[in-house]
Structure 1
Amino acid sequence: MPFHHASRRPREFAARLASRVESTPLARTVLRAYLAGMPCGERFSDIGELLLGELFANAVQHGDAPPDRLVEIRFSVVADRLRLEVHDAGTGRPALQPPAHPESEHGRGLFLVNELAERWGCCPRAGGVGKFVWALIAPAPGSADLALGRAPKLVTA
């Protein structure tokens, strides 16, 4: 009987990072490393890193949690979707605003999440302290999809 090596790749990952804007690149780096260990993980990298960065930055910049609280990031790949979660101890809930002025450097975070995620939402944390914002991301089309004739749909003006 042949021996089958069981995969030791983590299905879910969680980390707690300092609640500082400077931790945002670290959150993206951790996600990139996680996805590098997943089969076809690269298909989630671009959108996943962008949206995780936006959600993390929103938790830090717009949260009302005490400054000594950590922000927790969680991610998993389930049923061919990447699930991102950003947990914080703040009480405020994110609200989708109209797109920012084209020259503004702020105000596009949740707009991007809304446009690029398959679904997203906000839920209270277990234990009643804080909330978490989650996003579900579909994989970008890969070379296997193109070879099978499942090309991305192009939008033309």
Structure 2
Amino acid sequence: MNRTEQPAPATPVHACFTLRFSSTPRGARLARRLCAERLHAWGVPYGSEGHDVLTLLVSELATNAVTHGHVSGRDFRVHLLAFTVPGSGALTVRAEVTDTRGDRLPEPASAQGAGGDGTGGRGLLLVDALADRWGWGPRPEGPGKTVWAEYTVRIGPPSAPVA
């Protein structure tokens, strides 16, 4: 299991993106799309495995915030951090999704429970399978929780412009 309660690694922050979204399916879609654009701008190109995995992680966390963390009249927040280790050629992206409902805590469904006819419970199984690390903690500035996932991608040197 990849779940852990440890904080993010103490490495230099390469880039940061934070935005609040309405706690609706439309807000979750917009979060996924804006994060996908931001990842591309950070050097994780559209269509790459890293981009697809990170976009799916954001999508699942945002969908869970809308489905299980919804409080009427309250938004959810997405915060992306990109950490680099100098000379490593790797970028670790941490996706954090914060909602205002603290009484429903994240727990992936068991593999047996996910095989049923229900329509829920598989999102955190995907997060657990795809993320290098994931976890959750209480929302520091009020009621609710923050669920986060980290994934490391290889990034190459910037390519020279084609003439």
TM score, norm. by length of structure 1: 0.76
Per the alignment, residue 89 of structure 1 pairs with: 100
Q: For 1:18, which of 8, 16, 22 is the aligned residue?
A: 22
Deviations 1:64-114 (A, max 9, x none): x42110000010210321100000101121012113116554321000000
Aligned partners of 1:24 and 1:66: how far apart in 2? 15
* Identical aligned residues as a percent: 33
What is the Cα-based RMSD across aligned positions, in Å? 2.0
The offset of 1:129, in angstroms, is: 1.7
Instruction: Give runs of aligned pairs for residues 40-59 of structure 1, distance below 5 A.
Output: 40-42=44-46, 43=48, 44-59=50-65
In the alignment, structure 2 segments of 5+ residues that lack a partner are 1-13, 85-90, 157-163
Aligned partners of 1:105 and 1:131: how far apart in 2? 23
Matched, 1:130 2:136: no
Deviations 1:87-146 (A, max 9, x none): 01011210121131165543210000000000000011112421100000121x67x6xx
Q: For 1:66, which of 63, 71, 82 is the aligned residue?
A: 71
Q: 1:49 to 1:41 in 2, by over 3 A?
A: same
TM score, norm. by length of structure 2: 0.73
Matched, 1:118 2:132: yes
Q: Is the 8 A contact 2:100 2:142 kept in 1?
A: no
The offset of 1:50, in angstroms, is: 0.7
Aligned partners of 2:119 and 2:31: how far apart in 1? 21
Aligned partners of 2:137 and 2:109: how far apart in 1? 19
Aligned partners of 1:108 and 1:45: how far apart in 2? 21
Aligned partners of 2:145 and 2:107: how far apart in 1? 13
Aligned partners of 1:40 and 1:81: how far apart in 2? 11
- The one-letter code of the counterpart of 2:143 is V
The structure number with the bigger radius of gyration is 1
